Amino acid sequence: MTTATTTTPPLTMHYRRKRHSTLPHVVKFSGGRSSAALTFMMARSGLLQPDRGDIVLFANTSAEHPGTYAFAAECKRRLEQDFGLPFFWYEFCTVETASRGAYVRKLSYRLVKPVPIEEDPQGYHSHGEVFEEMLSYQGMLPNPHSRSCTAKLKLYPSHLLLAEWLGTGPGPTHAGHHANQAFVTPEHAAGRYVSNRGTASIEDYMRRVMFMTTQPHARPAQLWQDYTSAPIQRGPASARVHRAEMWGQCAAEFVALLGLRADERKRVDRILTRSLFAEGAGGTQCSIRTQPPGEHPYFPLDDAGLTSDEILAFWRDEDFDLAIPSKSGNCVFCFMKGTEILKQAVQETDPDRVLGAPSDISWWVDMEQRYRREVPARTGRGISQFGFLGVSGPSFAEVANGTASRRSRYATGAVACDCTD
């Protein structure tokens, strides 16, 4: 078993309600140092209990830095081997389903193994495939004012996963129809788009949905045990697989553990405020879809007063660490960083950069050019372009060649990895 050599004090849990201590605990592992330190500190302090249903979740966007995958895989190996904690990697995907007499694509998820898909068909994607499927599915780019990538790639798929984990059954059930062929084509999708009074040209819309329609139309049933080396400790097998209800007054409850620190108090307060609204939502159609009412967020690092300095000290005492350049972050060219940091990331030497993949700026330039929307300006003059940096903001092509204006309102961004809230 791995022994802790760090001088960081052990964590404790201060539950707002006593019954929260009995609920399954879900660690939201971002792939960064803080959430990883939280997970190891909790495990070493005996605060994570597999027999309670505790798990660790990592959402792969396929746009992570190569070093993030290596780090997350090592964390998974150690946590499962040393503490018996199931650590699941999952990805957003779409599947076909019938709706109102027609076939459509809907959001789903799949479990993946911590090896590249090029080596194992059940492995993870790392060349932007998942991210592009999300772009093709929603038909537009995320931006600082609408971070749909966070919701669709991480939060919504996790809700589906937890509905099955907190329910019964040996693993995720089959998602999508059972026919041996796909029915949703670009032409089919464009027909529905026109009937729904879409404003883009049919040609433009068909171009944007093309990638989604080339993806698998269903996700076969999976077994939890196939995606973790830790023993799965489930209750008695049920004759009928049951998904836990995630919304409404009977929503399943669980404790969510997030690696936000004491120097990120604004983010902590924002999530706690949202939690109050979510917990008070009694209807199944609540508009707050990013946080189920039964999710109770906790921030042990913040409670312990730990800041980035203590987290860095923690990793200096360990025998492995996250090996990525200082400006990279996990999602290397995330638009939330602002153009100045992005320009620095372009110039930063990175031996692990993969050309044509999300760790290379050219991939982002290509995605923006392929999926940006162009509509007549509200003033009636010219065209408005919706890119990664908002309406007619700096383009990623300008970021790549260093010409993005320093005076743009997008020059400075949010805190790196501010995508959990």
Residue 255 parent element (H or E): strand 254-257
Other CB atoms within a 10 A radius of the CB of residue 195 amount to 9
Q: Which of 273, 292, 323 is the last residue of a domain?
A: 323
Tell me how far apart the alpha carbons of residues 375 and 3 are, in angstroms, rounded to a whole number.
58
pLDDT tens digits, 391-416 = 888 999 999 999 888 767 778 766 54
**Is residue 8 assigned to a domain?**
no
Q: Does residue 160 share a domain with residue 25?
A: yes
Q: Does residue 363 share a domain with residue 333?
A: yes
Name the phi and psi angles at 147, rounded to 5. -85, 65
Q: Does residue 77 share a domain with residue 28?
A: yes
Q: How far is CA 41 from CA 3, 49, 83, 85, 120, in A?
A: 11, 13, 12, 13, 32
Q: Does residue 334 share a domain with residue 277?
A: no
* Cα dihedral 193, 197, 199, 203 in deg (nearest 10): 30
Nearest Cα to Cα of residue 59 among 72, 42, 74: 72
Exposure string over 34-50, b if 16+ CB within 10 A, otherwise e: bbbbbbbbbbbeebbbb
pLDDT tens digits, 54-107 = 999 999 999 999 999 999 999 999 999 999 999 999 999 999 999 888 899 999
pLDDT at residue 285, rounded to an integer: 54
Nearest Cα to Cα of residue 152 among 105, 200, 104, 119: 105
Question: Which range has the worst mean pLDDT, 38-42, 99-103, 184-188, 338-342?
Answer: 99-103
Q: How many domains does the chain have?
A: 2
Q: Does residue 357 share a domain with residue 233?
A: no
The CA-based angle 222-225-226, given to 5 degrees, is 60
Q: Does residue 224 share a domain with residue 79?
A: yes
**Is residue 2 assigned to a domain?**
no
Q: Does residue 248 share a domain with residue 155?
A: yes
pLDDT at residue 234, rounded to an integer: 64
Tell me how far apart the alpha carbons of residues 131 and 61 are, in angstroms, rounded to a whole number.
6
Among residues of the chain, what percentage have pLDDT more than 90?
71
pLDDT at residue 283, rounded to an integer: 55
Name the phi and psi angles at 96, rounded to 5. -90, 140
Q: Does residue 241 share a domain with residue 316?
A: yes
pLDDT at residue 3, rounded to an integer: 47
Looking at per-residue confidence, does 287 or 279 come out higher?
279
Strands 390-391 and 383-387: antiparallel
Is pLDDT above 80 for 289?
A: no
* Residue 239 confidence class, pLDDT cut points 50, 70, 90: very low
* Cα dihedral 210, 212, 215, 220 in deg (nearest 10): -150
**Is residue 162 assigned to a domain?**
yes
Q: Which of 323, 338, 356 is the last residue of a domain?
A: 323
Name the phi and psi angles at 375, rounded to 5. -135, 155
Q: Does residue 115 share a domain with residue 251?
A: yes
pLDDT at residue 8, rounded to an integer: 64
pLDDT tens digits, 201-220 = 899 899 999 999 999 999 99
Tell me how far apart the alpha carbons of residues 312 and 245 are, in angstroms, rounded to a whole number.
39
**One-letter amino acid identity for 42?**
M
Other CB atoms within a 10 A radius of the CB of residue 96 amount to 23
Q: For the chain, give the mean pLDDT.
A: 90
Q: Does residue 140 share a domain with residue 251?
A: yes
Q: Which of 274, 300, 323 is the last residue of a domain?
A: 323
Q: Does residue 373 share a domain with residue 279?
A: no
Tell me how far apart the alpha carbons of residues 112 and 73 are, in angstroms, rounded to a whole number.
12
Q: Does residue 284 share a domain with residue 341?
A: no
**CATH number of the domain encompassing residue 309:** 3.40.50
DSSP class of 311: H
pLDDT at residue 355, rounded to an integer: 93
Q: Tell me what the mean pLDDT of segment 246-272 comes to.
A: 94
Tell me how far apart the alpha carbons of residues 4 and 41 are, in angstroms, rounded to a whole number.
9
pLDDT at residue 196, rounded to an integer: 84
* Residue 388 confidence class, pLDDT cut points 50, 70, 90: very high
Among residues of the chain, what percentage have pLDDT more than 70?
90
Is pLDDT above 80 for 343?
A: yes
Give me the domain span that covers residue 405: 325-421
